[in-house]
């Protein structure tokens, strides 16, 4: 059984950096891993590991889209799962700076939710660049104040009340014209609590290992592997068997 992790997310979320760290960790664990580029706009210089397959060199995706009338995402999933026999898991990255603006953050939550619903494959959402979250609060230019460690849980498991406009704040806070839209988004997230994020700090080995472990669990890595006989079966305690 072969496995694939689709790394997705908005521009600047750290997809290339995460892919490099993920590849390095996997290879350090004595597991085989290769990089496949599915972004036709990606520059070759953005990858530390050279892709073994580059989407710009392939034409099979267009054939699938034409023959089966699939969209680009559905065509990619079809190619992975049924032509190559690969078990697929997807990751969606948004960066921790999204927490500085609650409206930008919830646009990321809705984008992740849309991707999850449309692709219909095992999914993990990741809050990247957590090394930028400082222990001490420093409001700076953050629209909604500093990201305090005690408040991070409300973003990792999105709290819809972060976006709800409190009574008396319409004039000084968000534009009252968007109050109804905000309330509708809050209701949507409350009714469909699909999105939560794993924190990722690439400076912390334990954080990387935690993300890799969740990916392995989501893909059921190794579940179909045949058990191997120990090399010392005929030695020591087993010599009489």
Give pTM, 2 decimals.
0.71
Residue of 108, 110, 87, 65 lying closest to 223 (CA atoms): 87
Dump the DSSP string for 99-163.
GGSHHHHHHHHHHHHHHHHHH-S-EEEEEE-GGGS-SS---TT-TT----GGGTHHHHTT-GGGT
Structure tokens at 127: 């809050």
Can you tell me the distance from the alpha carbon of 67 to that of 85, in angstroms, rounded to the nearest whole number?
20
Give SS3 for 36: strand
Mean pLDDT by 10 residues, the chain (241 residues): 86 88 91 84 78 72 74 70 75 89 84 85 91 62 50 82 56 61 75 84 91 90 64 52 49
pLDDT for 172: 47
Structure tokens at 160: 């819809």
The answer to whether 202 and 17 are in contact (CB under 8 A) is yes
pLDDT for 142: 46
Can you tell me the distance from the alpha carbon of 127 to that of 60, in angstroms, rounded to the nearest whole number?
33
Residue of 96, 106, 98 lying closest to 165 (CA atoms): 106
pLDDT for 101: 80
The answer to whether 126 and 92 are in contact (CB under 8 A) is yes
55: number of Cβ within 10 Å: 15
pLDDT for 164: 62
């Amino acid at each position: 059984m072969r496995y694939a992790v689709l790394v997705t997310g908005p521009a600047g979320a750290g997809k290339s950096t995460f892919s490099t760290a993920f590849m390095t960790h996997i290879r350090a664990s004595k597991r085989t891993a290769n990089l496949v580029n599915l972004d036709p706009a990606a520059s070759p210089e953005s990858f530390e590991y050279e892709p073994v397959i580059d989407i710009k060199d392939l034409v099979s995706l267009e054939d699938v889209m034409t023959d089966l009338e699939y969209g680009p995402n559905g065509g990619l999933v079809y190619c992975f799962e049924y032509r190559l026999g690969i078990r697929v898991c997807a990751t969606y990255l948004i960066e921790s700076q999204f927490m500085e603006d609650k409206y930008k953050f919830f646009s990321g939550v809705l984008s992740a939710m849309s991707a999850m619903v449309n692709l219909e494959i095992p999914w993990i959402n990741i809050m990247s660049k957590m090394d930028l979250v400082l222990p001490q609060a420093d409001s700076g230019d953050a629209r909604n104040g500093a990201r305090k460690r005690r408040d991070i849980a409300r973003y990792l498991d999105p709290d819809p009340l972060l976006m709800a406009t409190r009574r008396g704040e319409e004039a000084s806070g968000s534009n009252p014209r968007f109050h109804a839209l905000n309330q509708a988004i809050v209701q949507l997230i409350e009714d469909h609590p699909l999105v939560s994020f794993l924190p990722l700090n690439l400076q912390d080995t334990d954080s990387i290992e935690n993300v890799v472990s969740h990916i392995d669990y989501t893909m059921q890595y190794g579940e179909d592997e045949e058990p191997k006989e120990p090399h010392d079966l005929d030695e020591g305690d087993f010599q009489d068997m």
